Structures are given as structure tokens and as C-alpha cells.
Chains A and B, each alone.
Chain A
Amino acid sequence: MAQVDAPAAHDINEIRTTFVHNLAKGHTRENSLKIAQATVNYIRRIIALEKYENIEDLLNVLRTHLRYSISLAPTELVVRNIFLIAMKLAREENMRVLVGVDKEVGNPYDSLNTLWKAEENSANASATGKKMRKGLAATIKEILVELDSSRELIVSRAVLQLNDTVLTYGVSSSPTLRFFLESARRTIKMRQILSVSSQLDDHSGPDFTSSISLRDVAAAMTDVTKVLLPVSVVFPDGSALMPAGSLSIAHAAARHAVPVYGLAAFYKIAPYYSADAASAVNAQAGIGLPVKLADSLRHRVILSPVFDVVPAHLLSLYISNSGAVLPSHMYRLIADYYHPEDLTEEL
């Protein structure tokens, strides 16, 4: 690993502490896009401030920061995804510096024969850190642009049709879902949009939706033609982490043969399964209970999970920024965003 001098290390440590603190401080979870943007900015600072001589050093620096972050915020899989995407981009930048911009960089998912020959040519060469830094900063910035445009791209994949009765969940906490519905409404006159709330008599959903509570979902499902759910993380097997309560909605939809769509931008596609996030709990679980219960509840556990793991067979389609993807085809997208060598060690 690169030797970092004191002032630089001090700075980056401060940045790292602030980043991790921001992840953990919120009583309610920030939306994934904001977490992703914060992570990209954090990586940009790492690339700018840390010292590294070659690609191996850079990857080690990134890995160290990643380990630190996910040890303190193990449930934020988006952070890990962005780091791994950045590591792939770093590897590509290295190859670009070595072989030139015009020449084609070898695909790590090529056949073994192709990879063997490519390896001979490059002979484990590495560009200097100085050369990489500039190019990499520009490439990482592109992730930000892609993140910004992902919402519009998802919106353009219209799955809603005339006379659809749509049931959604977690609209208030998912700006992507809200944006999607607002845009869809501009072009398509849907019959009704039901916004499910986990609270009784909660009408905090957007004006154009009618609010129902989670307990009414099974009864309302008879009229629903499509279910739209926000996705926090998609696993390679097609299952997904969704806001708590989504599992029962997905089961109710499956019972009535209603298709379930998940909105998942590219940075939500996790390269491997991780059980950590499923155990995330809301820090404010006890809020809303009367004070007089404090005595009887002293030794009790208040259940308040943040996520549900919804299995792939309950989902019909993912709407990603690159297109609509079947849950069973989700693993194909991993090659687009991650380098196989970064996935060998589970972080």
C-alpha cells in the first residue's frame, strides 16, 4: 500500500469520518441516489488526495477505504457497489494509459484463450499513479453524470398503460418512484394510483395518489393491474432488497396474478449476495408507542426492519436505466459494471 504523508492522511481521514458519520447519523435512511452521489464524491477525494504509485496501490487504497466504510455501515450495499464500480474504472484507466486510447482494452469476461494472449501482451505492466490520476478523475466524474441521468432513463421505460390501476409503496421515501409516477401521469391517464402507507390513516403520499394502509393491500389487490415497488439493492439471483412491508405486498400481488415491477438503477445491482443488509433495523423503532408501555416493554424487542428480501419469483421485471430486465437475467449486468478480480474477495 502507498505510503501517505501526514497532512494528506489527516485530511482524508477527516473526509472518511464525515462520510461514514453521515451514513449512520440519519434516523431514517437517505435515498439510495444521494448515498451513491456522496460515495462518488468521497472516491473522487480519495483519488485526488491519496498517494499511489501504480494500479495495485490504488486498488489497495480503495479497498481499505471500502472496508472501513462497510464495517461501520454494513447495511449500505450501495456504497460497496459504487466502490467496486470505481475499482473497475481504475483498472480500465490503467489499461488505457498503457495501450493507448485508440486500442481496444481487453474484456475481462472474454474467453480464457483470449485472456491468456492479452495477458502476455500487457505483461502485468502498470501505469504510474500520476498519469492515472487525471484520467481517472474524469472517468469517476462520469459516474456522477450517469447517476443523474439514471432517473430520466428509468422514467423513459414506460410500463404503465391506459386504465391501469397502479399500487405503489414507499413513494414518499423514493424520489425515483415519485418522479416515475409524475412523468407517467403526464403522458398516460391512469385510472388510479394507490399509494400504500405503513401507517393507518396516513395521507402523506403525493396528491395524485389515493392512500391506503398496508393492512388493506390484500383487499385492494383485486382491482390493481400493476404493482410498482422501489428497490434498494438487486442481488444477482434476481431477488431484491425492498422497503420493509414489500414482501407481503409482493405475496398479495402473486396471489392475484398482478405483475410486480421494481425500479432499480445500475448502482443498485449488487455483484454478490449479502445477508447483512436484510438485518438492518430502524433506529427509531420504539417511536410512536405510548410512554406508559415503557415498563412492560423494557425487556421486549420492538421489530422495525428497514428492508425485506423479496425473492425473484415474486417479481416480474426490473426497470433499470439500461432497459427492462427479467429477474433471472440480472446476473448478466454484473459484467458491465464490475471486474471479476474485484469480486474474488468478499468485502
Chain B
Amino acid sequence: MGKNKGKSQGGSPSANTGNQQSPKSSEKPKQSEPVAAPAAVPDAPAAANVEQITEQVNNLHLQNGEEANRDDVMAARKAKAAAKAEKAAKAAAKKEADAAAAAAKAGGEASTAAEPKQNNEENKDAERGGPPQSEMSKEEILAARKAKAVQQRAEKAAKAEGKHKQDQTQQLGQKEDLQSKSNLKQASSSPNGNEKGVRFVAHDQKETRDSIHNAFKPLFDRCESGDCEGPDELCLHFMECARQFISQFTWDNEEQLGTMMDDSLSMTLKAITQTDRYPLPYAMGNVVRQLRKEIMQVGRNAMTKRHLLEWLDDSEQQYFSLANSAISQHLQGKIAAATKIITYDWCPVVNHVLIDSKTKGSLKKLTVLDAAKNGPGVRHLTSLADHMGYVEYGDLTAVGSIFERGSLVLLGCSAVLSSGRVCLPKGAFQLSLVARAANVPVLILAPTYKFVDRAQAASRFALLGKTPLDILPPDLITAIVTDIRLLPPSSAPAVLKAKALDDAN
């Protein structure tokens, strides 16, 4: 038991001492672990645990860079946690009861001295309506206690929040917000877990669409129809929608405008990501995070909606046109020195650089490859129709015969991970392998907003669904061309730090 004493939770030392006097048989050390008695000290440890669990839940959901300090989000999470925990507790109780019955059957040889006391404890527990303490493991007891406390809190919060939100929706008259909240209410009012109410946002596409703010519906529809070509177009469209959203959003109290706007945006994002089930596409996640940071400033420090719209315009210009021009400028010398430029699939940044270099006369020969003929790479050909003289086009089978002396491979990307790995369209891995074997440099064109503070790639994204991506390891990359400068892949963390894209921000 001395061992168990050492393991006991700091929050309930007084309760432990009572239990230690009633050791069960030595073959069940886990069952006889010291257990906190919720009835004895109900509030203090429970409150501490609620803080703990809330923090954990927040950490869990912070993956997309969402700041989860809004009441509604909190309430929703708590309700979810409560429902889950109670379900777990019930299951545990049932299990323990079974175990107790079995133990009682087989436990004739258990020490007779300990028995009366043990029974006493169990009876006490039965009176409280809880499972027999000594039969439950530490984790289960904790879970049950947390569940109870969290449920109480969540109910309170949801009640308050529901009232608050009702007022808001009445003013806004937004059907989609109502929908989300009705889901939310459903979730918090039926925390027992096994009903439909546990799901905050229905995964049905129609319901998801209803939960999205009107301004973002065109984006959702476009992605649903599979019309979205890639991360760049997606980001641009998102910014356009965000502009609409900000313009349309009204709130009486100027001071609360930012918070309310963020709440509404958060609801939309929740619906899009199916309650954080799928992450936002990398670059878009960065844009969203920065936008929300700015939105939160509205109403404070004399920041108004007009400032926000200006910020959005500035960022668009900075992320797209200015970044593309800077990348193009960095590359002109290299393109002029190369006898042949090879690219794969479609990327607007690469296209910009190619058109730029052709108008400047530095591009001599171009080869465009696609995974299969008539793929997205054809857009390079059509856009360069008036600019180009000599162009080769082919599919991935031609990869063995395109490299010649002085070639240079330019590839666009979806994201640069913090480990220096790069997410590219599928097939680019093989192209890079053959390029390395042919001693041809591979340059990745990545504006800084595509750098993400993640080491692992996701296979499925919100909006884009399952995107076929290759993860290119750093050893196959000669350099990454950013709007700052040409960098080795190992400098990805430095870019994240410099552009405040890392998790610390």
C-alpha cells in the first residue's frame, strides 16, 4: 500500500487516508488504490479538474490556430466532455459492478478482518449513488468526478450562452447561426451522450451548408462542386468571402464587434471543419489564423471594420501579387542561365514566374509535365500561348527523357512543413528523384504564407477533401524560393519565426 500512497492524487489526501485502512487482498493492488471521495471534498478538487480538462480540450482543438477563448466554444466543448465522461463513468460503473460480483463470488478467501470495513465503505458508496470506491481504478473515479463537475458547469454555461446567443441572432436575423446554436443547445441539453445531440454540427452536407455564414457559402459550394483547383485559389476566394463577411457584419456595441465577428466566423469554421475533424488546408489555416487575430482587435485600439478591410486588401496584395513578383525577381538570373525549365502540374506562382521571365526574354525552353495527359498543367500552355516559342508537354512517363544539360525544375507547393518537407502534387516525388539522378536542381516556389508550423502532413482537409499530395523530403530539394530570399529547406523554422507563423503566435 505504500506504493499506492505514493501514487495518490494531490487533490484529495484526506480521503486517501481513510481508504488505506481497508486494504483488499494483495492480488488486486489496482483496485485497492487510494480513491478520492467526492462527497467529502466535493468542490475544490472538482474545480481543479474542470480547469484541467478544459485546458486539455482547448489544447486538443487548437490545432488549426483557432483561439478558443469564446464562451460558446467553451460551453460546447465542456458539454461534449461532460457527455463523454459521463458515458465513460457509466460504463466503468457497470464494469466495476460486474467485477465486484465476480470478486464476491470468488473472494471467499479474502481477509475476513478487512471485510466488514470494506462492506461499510461500499454501502456508503451505494448510498451516494456512486460505484464502490475500492473496486474502481483511479482513472475511472477521476473521470466520473470530472464528468459530474464538468456537466454541471457546461449546463450552466450553455444556459447562459444560449440566452446570450438568442439575443444576438434576433438582432442579426441570421438563419445559419440559429442552426448552429440549435445544434449546440441540443448538445448541451442532452449530455448523456448516446443521442444525436453529441454532434455539434451534423455531417450531412446540407446541414453543414446551413451552418455556414452566407458570405462563405460560395466558397463552400465551389469546393463541393470540385471546382477549386488548389490552395492558392482557395485562399484568394476565402479572402474575398471574408471581405463580404466583414462588410455585412453589424453589431450595436462597437466594443463587442470584434468578439461577435470572431464568434460568428468561428461557427462557420466549425461547420467547415466538421468540428475540427479535418484541418483547414495549410495555407488557408495561416490566413484564417491571422485574420482572426486582426478581427479580435476590432473595437479595441481604435481599430474599425474599415481598418480590417484595409488589412485584408494589404494581405492579399502582400501574399499574392507582391510575393509572386519577389519570387520572380529572385529567379530571373537562374532562369536566364538555365537552358530548359521543367515544371509539373499547375501552380499560379510558377505560372507568374514563367510569364514574367518570358516577357523579359530570359526563358528559352519550357517543359510541362502532368500526372496524366490533359491534366492541370495544360493551363500553363494556354496561359503561355501568346508568350512562348518552344514548349514541350507530356505525362509522367516522359520523365526519363526530359532532363538535359542545364535544366532547372521549378515546382509549386501546397505547404512547407517545419521539418523542411514540402507538400506537392502527387507525382512530383518521382520527378524530383529522377531530377536528382540527372543532377538537375529542384527549386520549390513557396510564398511565406505557405510555411506551416507542423511536422506531419494531413491526408484529408476541410473543403478540399482528400487531396493527393506527395511529401518531398528535404534531401531532394535544392532550395526553396520565398518572397524573402532563396533558402535551404532546413531554414523553414526560421521563416515561421520571422513571419510569426509559428504556434507561439
Task: Name A's B-contacting residues (CB within 8 A).
Answer: 198-200, 213-219, 243-249, 251-252, 255, 278, 285, 288-290, 293, 295-297, 299-305, 308-309
Contact = CB atoms under 8 A, between A and B. Distances in A.
Contacts of A216: 426, 468
A278 B437 CA distance: 18
15 contacts: A198-B395, A199-B372, A218-B427, A243-B397, A245-B399, A246-B400, A247-B399, A252-B429, A252-B433, A255-B433, A288-B373, A299-B391, A301-B390, A303-B369, A308-B401
B401 A303 contact: yes
A214 B434 CA distance: 14
Contact of A293 (B378, B402, B433): B378
Nearest to A198: B397
A245 B396 contact: yes
Contacts of A243: 397
B430 A252 contact: yes
Interface stretch (B62-70, B190-198, B381-389, B445-453): B381-389
Contacts of B389: 299
* Size class of the contact patch on chain B: 20 to 34
**Smallest CB-CB A-B distances: 3 pairs:** A303-B394, A215-B427, A247-B400
Given A245-B396, A293-B381, A303-B393, A215 B371 contact: yes
**Residue among A213, A215, A246, A303 with max Cβ neighbours from chain B (10 Å):** A215
A199 B427 CA distance: 12
B352 to A, nearest CB: 19
B488 to A, nearest CB: 20
B396 A251 contact: no
Contacts of B427: 214-215, 218
Nearest to A169: B397
A262 to B, nearest CB: 15
A300 B426 CA distance: 25
A304 B372 contact: no
A296 B391 CA distance: 10
Contacts of B396: 198, 214-215, 245, 248
Nearest to B384: A296
Contact of B433 (A251, A285, A297, A301): A251
Contacts of A308: 400-401
B86 interface: no
B382 A300 contact: no
A217 B433 CA distance: 12
A293 B378 CA distance: 9
A244 B470 contact: no
B378 A218 contact: no
Contacts of A290: 374
A214 B397 contact: yes
A214 B470 CA distance: 13
B378 to A, nearest CB: 6
Contacts of B391: 299-301
A114 to B, nearest CB: 44
B367 interface: yes
Given A293-B382, A301-B393, A309 B374 contact: no
Given A218-B470, A308-B401, 11 more contacts: A213-B372, A218-B429, A244-B400, A245-B399, A247-B399, A248-B434, A289-B373, A289-B378, A293-B382, A303-B398, A305-B397
